[in-house]
């Protein structure tokens, strides 16, 4: 009952899986099959279907989005083709997981462990932002990236223009190994607000659609380099974007194929300038220009 059928979208299918893990920051997937009794929790012969939504980048937001989430059309098609319900399996505890699923209209049950070893487990092709190469010519990757971008653009409505938006770095839901403090954050907030701009706390907003709406209708954005740029700017066009990059990460990431590819997409569609959080005169000038317009 409910066995896998042929799909227009390729995926990795494994049966009777007990556990899995990704090599950190490398496009390698390791799996462990269950060799004993077919089920650890269920006593009948019904197979459970799992769509795996984890990645080599662990809980880092941009890694999770661009290594696994962009392949969500595969799950959407499987939902239509397979008669049994498919559970979304993830070890990722971050709140952005369910927020992104809601925005994309995904209502599958989300679980944190494989509770039935009598199963079918589906994985998208494995990528790593650190090690996957030649992404610009990878038709499979580009297909799903473009579908992801197009979905956001189609589902973010236009509202009254917001002149200037500052997105402070999230200090709660960050991936801890990549955590860092952005100096002068309070001063930047003050400059933006005094000149009629908006400060958007994305963690407190807790709604990815509203977040995208605000960003898409902003004329000027100020935000931190890293996941914030890759999540919030990939679908934008004709914006003025100031990227705070105190650690020179944008330059360092040019050696990573996916990072470089995404960054080039953003800069090709927008006017992007790299600054540091100490460049307050640049931020003040931009804010004053907005107020004067």
Q: Does domain 157-292 have CATH number 3.40.1000?
A: no
Mean predicted confidence (pLDDT) in 92-106? 94
What percentage of the chain reaches a pLDDT higher than 70?
Answer: 89
Strand partners for 241 = 221, 272
Residue ranges covered by each domain of the chain: 12-152, 157-292
pTM over 0.85: yes
Task: Find all residues with CB under 8 Å of 249, minimum gap 6, and list them.
Answer: 225, 226
Angle at 89 between CA 227 and CA 102, to 5 degrees: 60
Closest C-alpha to 200, from 158, 234, 179, 231: 231
Query: In this model, does residue 41 exceed pLDDT 70?
Result: no
| 144-199 pLDDT tens trace | 999 999 999 999 988 888 889 999 987 665 545 555 677 788 999 999 999 999 99
Per-residue pLDDT band for 131 (boundaries 50, 70, 90) equals very high
What pLDDT, on a 0 to 100 scale, did the predictor assign at position 176? 52
Q: What is the pLDDT of residue 43?
A: 43
């Amino acid at each position: 009952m409910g066995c896998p059928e042929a799909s227009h979208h390729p995926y990795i299918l494994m049966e009777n899986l007990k556990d899995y893990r990704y090599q950190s920051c490398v496009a390698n997937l390791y799996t462990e099959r269950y060799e004993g009794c077919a089920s650890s929790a269920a006593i009948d012969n019904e197979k459970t279907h799992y769509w795996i939504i984890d990645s080599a980048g662990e809980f880092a937001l941009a890694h999770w989005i661009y290594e696994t989430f962009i392949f969500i059309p595969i799950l959407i098609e499987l939902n239509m083709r397979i008669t049994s319900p498919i559970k979304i399996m993830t070890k990722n505890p971050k709140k952005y997981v369910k927020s992104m699923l809601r925005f994309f209209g995904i209502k599958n049950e989300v679980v944190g462990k494989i509770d039935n070893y009598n199963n079918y487990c589906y994985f998208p092709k494995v990528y790593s932002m650190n090690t996957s190469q030649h992404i610009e010519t990878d038709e499979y990757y580009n297909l799903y990236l473009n579908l992801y971008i197009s979905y956001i653009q189609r589902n973010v409505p236009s509202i009254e223009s917001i002149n200037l938006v500052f997105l402070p770095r999230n200090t709660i839901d960050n991936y801890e190994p990549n955590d860092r403090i952005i100096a002068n954050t309070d001063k930047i907030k003050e400059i933006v607000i005094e000149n009629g701009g908006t400060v958007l706390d994305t963690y407190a907003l807790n709604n990815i659609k509203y977040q995208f709406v605000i960003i898409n209708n902003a004329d000027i954005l100020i935000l931190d380099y890293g996941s914030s740029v890759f999540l919030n700017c990939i679908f934008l066009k004709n914006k003025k974007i100031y990227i705070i990059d105190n650690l020179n990460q944008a330059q360092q990431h040019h050696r990573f194929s996916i990072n470089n590819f995404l960054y080039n997409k953003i800069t090709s569609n927008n006017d992007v300038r790299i600054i540091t959080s100490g460049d307050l005169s640049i931020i003040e000038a931009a804010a004053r220009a907005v107020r004067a317009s």
